[in-house]
Structures are given as structure tokens and as C-alpha cells.
Amino acid sequence: MRYAKALELLGVAGLAFYTVALARPVMAQPAAEFYSHNPLTIVVGSGAGGGYDVYARVFAQHYSAHIPGHPAIVVKDQPGAGGLTNFNYMYRTAPRDGSEIAASTNTGTLLPLLGDTGAQFDARKFNWIGSIGKQQAVCTTWHTVPIKTIEDARRQQVLVSATSQNATPAVLPHILNALFGTKFKVISGYSTSEMHLALEKGEVQGICGLAWQTLQSSSPAWIANNDLNVLVQMGLVKDKDLPNVPLALDMMSKPEDKAFFRLTVLTGEFGRPFLAPPGIPTDRVEALRIAFVETVHDPAFLADARKAYMPIDLLDGAQIQALLSEAYAAPQAIRDRVAKYFLPEH
């Protein structure tokens, strides 16, 4: 019954992915025995207090109740190299028994595909558990700024803040300038919190490249008070909260530009992903995946997520694998074009 309920929650999209769980329900028992005697560690691929850390800690409070054996869950942070430290650790060093999983960043997911030599992993070989929610990058300006549309940004310069020149809030403005003739000027060197303060104090006019979901959770007052003009959104489809904001993909006519931009923003679709290392026993992977789906539908978890201003949008393991397949099918010319922005020394 428990597996049937999980399949009902997943719907058709996850049916094939979880058929094996129905075919071999007895495989759940070894997982229950293992987790009844061993804690589960969630290794977060960023620093304490950040969005990935907050999501992981709220999720961890409810995850154990749905895992066979109900293990104690420990959350620890492993920041470094924009998430690559965590990816490399999970791929090369983490135990292969199911006792450690990662709440990874999404930005580093495709760096091996782009040729980053620091990315020592193959994302297709991870055991993807699921994602709590996607991240739809947006370009915004402060409500007092006269630049309120993407057309306005074509006519006059827009100062936007970023942490570094290879961070998404720097890369995406440069890409929009190249594709649409906008005039974003990136001012880098801010911390994440300083980016927000700089906008409020008028040091910059906007932020272009942070996720709408991040703004919802980190600056809910901005959303409630309509403090932001949202110029454009950058994902594969429009966010349900932004039906009247243009989608960058819809503004492109050249197929090669669309293919380039899809690969550019694809990491946002991964959202806040959870993964296990390669080589984990199959029954434990299945147990973790099914428990993940159940937790995301747990009313107690959803209530805590609302209190923490955490938008939730489930992506299951099969959907993540499909996104990876799309990415790895991209022609080399498209990969190289994306790499020029994310890996300027490539």
C-alpha cells in the first residue's frame, strides 16, 4: 500500500521510474534494517544559513518519518568552489552504503559537460533522489527605478549587482546583452546579503540572475510590498506566479539561440536537488526516493515550508535524469558557446 500511495502522488511522470519498487517490495526490508541501525547524513553543498542549507534542514525534520527504519538525520555543510567540493566528494569519497546523501547546488551540475576540469564527476552516474523546488532566474529592478520592462533595459543602462563575474547574476546579464541588446552593467564584489542591501540603498538599480523562488524566501517583504519590477524570466516555461512577465525563450527566433539558452538555464530546473553517490544498494536508493516523494507531500512539512517562505515544486529522480539526458545531447558547438560565459578561461 505504501508504494502504491507513492506512485499515486507521483502521477504518470514517475510511474515507470518506480515500477521496480512494486515489482520487488521485499527489497524494502534490507533498507529498513539498515536505517534502523545507521543514521543518515545530509551533506549540504553550500554554507550555513544559505537557501540550500535552510531547505535541507527543514526537509530533514520530516524525512526520517518516511524512510524505512526511521534513521536519525544529521545535516552538515560542505561549502566550496560553488558546490563542486560537494559534488566531487559525493562522487569520489562518500560511503556507498546509503548513509550519506547530498543536498547539492544546481549550478555545478553541468560543469563537467562544459569542460570544467575542477568537476571530477559524471552527473549521470549519481543516484538522483529528487528536488524540492525549481529555481527560475529573473531580472528585477527596484520599484523606484524608471526601468520597468526589458524594452526599457534596451534603451538605457541598468546597474546590477553580483558576487563575482562568473556568478549567475553576472553571467545572465551578459547573455541578455548579447541576445537582446540590453544594457546591463554588472557591479561585482558583493556578498549575497550585500547584493540585497545595495539594491535597497540605491547603489545599484537591480539584480539579474537570482531565482524568483530565492527572492520569495530571502526577501518576502519585497514581494508582499511590490518593491520589484520583474523585467524578464529565464526558465523553460513561465513561472505560475509570473504569468505576465515575458519568458526570454519566447523572445528568441533563431533555433541555435534557443538551444544555447535552454542549456544555459537548464540548471535552474534542477532547483534544490538531493542525490546519493553511485553504487548505493538498489533497495536503499528506492527507499530514499519514495520517502522523498512522500515527504514533499507531507502536510506537516508543507506547513513548515510555508512558515520558512520556501516555495515547493517537486521534481522526481526520473525527471532529473530526463533533464540530464537533454543536456548531454546538446551539440558540442552549443556546449562551447555556454562554456564561454560560465568558464571564461575555457
pLDDT level of residue 11 (50, 70, 90 thresholds): low
Q: What percent of the chain has pLDDT over 70?
A: 91
- The reply to whether 137-266 shares the fold of 2-133+271-342 is yes
Residue 150 has pLDDT above 50, yes or no: yes
Rounded average pLDDT over 25-51: 83
pLDDT bracket for residue 12 (50, 70, 90): very low
Contacts of 198 (CB under 8 A, 6+ apart): 161, 187, 190, 204
pLDDT score of 267 more than 80: yes
The whole-number average pLDDT for the span 207-227 is 93
Residues 99-148 pLDDT 10s: 999 999 998 899 999 999 999 999 999 999 999 998 999 999 999 999 99
Going from N- to C-terminal start, the domains of the chain cover: 2-133+271-342, 137-266
Contact 119, 84 (CB under 8 A): yes
Give the per-residue pLDDT at 6.
53
- Give the global pTM: 0.84
pLDDT above 50: residue 7: no
The CATH number of the structural domain formed by 137-266 is 3.40.190.10
Query: Does 27 have pLDDT greater than 60?
Result: no
Give the CA count within 13 Å in the CB-facing half-sphere of 95: 10
Tell me the pLDDT of the chain averaged across its residues: 90
Query: What Å distances lie between residue 261 and 249, 253, 257, CA to CA?
Result: 7, 12, 6
- Give the per-residue pLDDT at 23: 40
Please give the CATH number for the structural domain made up of 2-133+271-342.
3.40.190.150
> From edge to edge, which strands make up the β-sheet containing 100-103?
73-77, 40-44, 100-103, 273-276, 127-131, 315-316
User: Which of 7-16, 87-96, 233-242 has the least mean pLDDT?
Assistant: 7-16
Q: What is the pLDDT of residue 200?
A: 96
Q: How would residue 24 be classed by pLDDT, with cut points 50, 70 and 90? A: very low
Question: Could you tell me what percent of the chain has a pLDDT over 90?
Answer: 79
User: Is residue 98 scored above 50 in pLDDT?
Assistant: yes
